[in-house]
Amino acid sequence: MYVSSIVSPRRSPRFSISTPVQITYDSPPPKIQKEVISAGPPSEKIFSEKKKAILKKKKERTQITPDSKEHTAPESSQKSGPMHVSSIVSPRSPRFSISTPVQRFYDGPAPKIQKEVISASPPSEKVPSIVIPVKNATRKKKVPAKFAGFSPTLKWPPNSDYKLTDEETKLLNQFWDDYCKRADKLSIYCTSPTSKKLKKLLSREWMETGLLQNWFDVYLKPKAPHAYFIDANASDIWLKQSKERYVHIFGEFGWRVDIMKKHEVIVIPMCYLEHFTVIMGYPKEGKWEYYNSMPMDKRQWPKAEEFIIWLNDSFADFGWEGPRGWIRRNVDDVPIQENLYDCGFFVMGFVEHAILNRKIAFNQQDMMYYRCKLVVHLYNRQWELYQRMLQFSK
């Protein structure tokens, strides 16, 4: 008789333990061909060698042999009273591995294992609770300055001294309407500067010496006949040593010097390293004053002193020796510029307050006032010249 141990041909559930069965034969047992089972999904068949070894050891420890049909409890537990057997699943089973039943013995009833339930509210309940407060929050939309145009509803700073009049506001709104709706008509009479240039002045456009000179000649001179305005390009002529252009400062044979010393204030704009400052001369008081909106730039004042010395020597060459003995003062208690493109408009404010004997009370926020003021002046000036031209043509 031959005894052979084979696996029961009955298909056991997936991932269960197959129990060995002994079968007797009168002749040598037939050879059993192993059935090749096709592989399942990659996630179920791919195991590392280490995991296979762990599974093999677990099978050897927990496999039930035919001789041991049931386990007996230890003697200590038999003496203490009735025994309760509980079968639980080993919690330390790797993913996609066989969970092996393990029997445990308790003196009393087996404790109930409570499963921990984690409640999670659906996203549809949480999202509105976050979105609604954000939507209802009060906030102000900010537009970058380079993309923002002039708005008629522009809120001015609280300083009422630097606010356009009703007439100036009307002209500014008219310019903006013409620029947006009637650009072709506007380009007929807005030639120097152009309408595009005026529009840029309402944002971050830098000041130019030509615009500054126009502001002095047309706007400030009628208000301050006691002030003399030297050409806004004077510092550029000096820096480039263009002797043939000295006539623009002093006049031929120095005739302008005789006029200067009869005025109470001499206004000399200066532009050095693309930064506008201004020098104010007071013949009766015998002093030079220097206004710089960026006093932290230490390169400006030494260069301004060189320019003043050159002016004194030039005046002396034309017979005016007085300025050589004037006091030179760098005015430090001035409003500070907070950007890199408003220096020319600070000069507009410095000059206006100095020649009109007004106390300086503006700051960086008030520079939009001077920008709008300049645009209104240039726009209205060109419109008036255009109307005069039409009248003469008739």
Task: Look at the domain 206-366 and name its fold.
Answer: Adenoviral Proteinase; Chain (3.40.395)
What is the reported pLDDT for 32?
55
User: Tokens 């007929």 sit at which residue?
Assistant: 188
Residue 118: C-alpha distances to residues 90, 95, 115, 121, 126 (Å): 22, 21, 10, 10, 16
Angle (CA) 139 342 287, round 5°: 140
Cβ-proximal residues to 333 (8 Å cutoff; 6+ apart), any chain? none
Listed residue (144, 156, 275) closest to 207, CA to CA: 275
CA 18 to chain centre: 69
Rounded CA separation 115/99 (Å): 18
| Pair of tokens at residue 87 | 């079968």
Helix (H) or strand (E) holding 249: helix 247-250
Amino acid in the structure at residue 257 = V
State whether residue 330 is helix, strand or coil. strand
> Whole-angstrom Cα distance, residue 79 to residue 287?
118
Please tell me the distance from the alpha carbon of residue 282 to that of residue 267, in angstroms, as a whole number. Answer: 9
Nearest in space to 355 (alpha carbons), one of 277, 253, 249, 267: 267
- Cβ atoms of 380 and 198 within 8 Å: the answer is no
Provide the pLDDT for residue 69: 44
- Of residues 97, 116, 117, 119, the one with CA closest to residue 45: 97
Residue with tokens 């308790």: 106
Sequence ranges of the domains in the chain: 206-366
pLDDT in tens for each of the 394 residues of the chain? 554 444 444 444 444 444 555 555 566 655 655 554 444 555 555 556 767 777 777 777 765 554 444 444 444 444 444 455 444 444 454 454 445 555 555 566 666 666 555 555 565 555 556 666 665 666 555 545 444 444 444 445 557 789 999 999 999 999 999 998 888 888 888 888 999 999 999 988 999 999 999 999 989 999 999 999 999 999 999 999 888 899 999 999 999 999 999 999 999 999 999 999 999 999 999 999 999 999 999 999 999 999 999 999 999 999 999 999 999 999 999 999 999 999 999 999 999 999 999 999 999 989 999 999 999 999 999 999 888 888 888 7
